[in-house]
Amino acid sequence: MAKCFALLGWSLQVIESMQKVNKPFVVVSFPDFEDYAKENDIPFVAYQFDEWSDSSNSLDLMEKLKPFGADVAVPLFEETVEWAGALNSLYRNDPRILNRAFLFRNKAMMKRKALIGGLRVGLFEEVYNKEGVKNFMDRLNQANLQLEGEEDSWVHIKPFASAGTVGHRLLRSKQDIEDKCEDGDFPCLAESHLPGREFSCEAFIHKGKIRFLNITEYVKLGYSNFIPEGNYLHGKRDRILKEMQKMVDLFGIKYGMVHPEWFLTENDELSFGEVACRIPGGHILELCSKAYGFDALAAFVLCHDPDLTEEELQQILPPMDARPTEFYGNVMIYPHKGQISKLEIPEELKEEPYFLDHNLVPPLSTQKIDAREGFGNHFGTVNFKGEDPDRMKELLLHYEDVDFYH
């Protein structure tokens, strides 16, 4: 067992999980959290992750962690992935761990690795300005044998290293490129639109093998999902697991948990979207914990430990063939208006048998709503639990459109 886990990033949920399983840890995060950590006896090292210089680097951080005996670094958020890679490269004397962290943080490099390894991906290029996006769209149109006057092929642009859909733009036409793209978007990755049903996997990995696989069914990306997967995706589970292990082998992932997104077409073709190695958004691990009856956050941390034994793995993870009888889902709530003053919970929701709870908070006064950036500023979630995945999907789709804030 690891002497001490260095948790890179601040998450009270992860801290509570580590306290429950009684494993040694130290939190590394911005100085803003130091007072709270001291008041609550949380082992803590203050560090500026957004700096990388002669006085702020992995060697410097390793020295600060030595008094705690830290020997395993765990990235909780996207911005700490390189730091964890650098520390674990030092702890295990393996420079490829840092190289792999850069792979996770650069979507263009990630796509090239996937393509070389035989995963099915769309067309993609690094672009540096609007003209580059237009040229990419032209080449897509040519490849798709578009005729004059037909709609342009859809193009997605996204930053190389941002989490979720921050900075992600869907461009359906040349006019969209003019209207939606800004100078600050570049350089970035441009890629073709991938058709099919989108879903994510959460694979807990130890010694290079998937030890537990969750499939999260996306009802609408950025709004709603449920766990475990519905009956259709469940019927494709063996196929998905095989492709997942292929990805793990290709990327050389040995420990921890990965969160890739895939697209499944009607012809049973799986296309690789992208992959992350930190806690996923959408409260996925919380839903996973409830559905499967284990602490997914603690398991996420502990699977980073190379010294974890087979017995310990079996204690913290569900069996590979586990299939819960109840589904847990949530819908993330965003105000529909630019200004709100009250919260209204519909009576139909209170009477719905699948309704579990919500954490929506009334505004203190009239409040203006900032422009939405990615999926990071939802106002809370409405949670559901039930035995029928089709009914779960209906409810999540319905409550995406309900306006809770007025």
224-227 and 327-332 beta bridge pairing: antiparallel
Summarize the confidence of residues 188-207 as an average pLDDT: 94
Q: How confident is the model at residue 375 (pLDDT cuts 50, 70, 90)?
A: very low
| 80: nearest Cα among 45, 49, 43 | 49
Beta carbons of 301 and 5 less than 8 angstroms apart: yes
One-letter amino acid at 335 equals: P
Summarize the confidence of residues 103-131 as an average pLDDT: 93
Looking at residue 84, its pLDDT comes to 97
The proportion of the chain whose per-residue pLDDT surpasses 90, expressed as a percent, equals 77
Beta carbons of 234 and 228 less than 8 angstroms apart: yes
Residue 370 clears pLDDT 70, i.e. is over it:
no
CB within 8 Å of 264: residues ≥ 6 apart: 196, 197, 199, 233, 236, 240, 270, 271
Q: How confident is the model at residue 163 (pLDDT cuts 50, 70, 90)?
A: low
Looking at residue 356, its pLDDT comes to 97
Looking at residue 366, its pLDDT comes to 73
Beta carbons of 141 and 131 less than 8 angstroms apart: no
Q: How confident is the model at residue 52 (pLDDT cuts 50, 70, 90)?
A: low
Question: Six-digit token pair at 219?
Answer: 């009802």
Summarize the confidence of residues 52-80 as an average pLDDT: 90
Looking at residue 210, its pLDDT comes to 98
pTM of the predicted structure, to 2 decimals: 0.92
DSSP symbol at 386: E
Summarize the confidence of residues 47-73 as an average pLDDT: 88
Residue 371 clears pLDDT 80, i.e. is over it:
no
What is the distance between the alpha carbons of residues 119 and 113, in angstroms, rounded to a whole number? 9
The arrangement of secondary structure in 5-105, i.e. its CATH architecture, is: 3-Layer(aba) Sandwich (3.40)
Q: Is the torsion defined by CA of 23, 28, 30, 36 positive or negative?
A: positive
Q: How confident is the model at residue 339 (pLDDT cuts 50, 70, 90)?
A: confident
Count other C-beta atoms under 10 Å from residue 346's C-beta: 12
Looking at residue 374, its pLDDT comes to 40
What is the distance between the alpha carbons of residues 90 and 28, in angstroms, rounded to a whole number? 17
Looking at residue 373, its pLDDT comes to 46
Q: Domain 196-324: state its class.
A: alpha beta
For the chain, the average pLDDT equals 92
Q: How confident is the model at residue 321 (pLDDT cuts 50, 70, 90)?
A: very high
Count other C-beta atoms under 10 Å from residue 40's C-beta: 10
Looking at residue 376, its pLDDT comes to 46
Summarize the confidence of residues 203-216 as an average pLDDT: 98
Three-state secondary-structure class, residue 292: helix
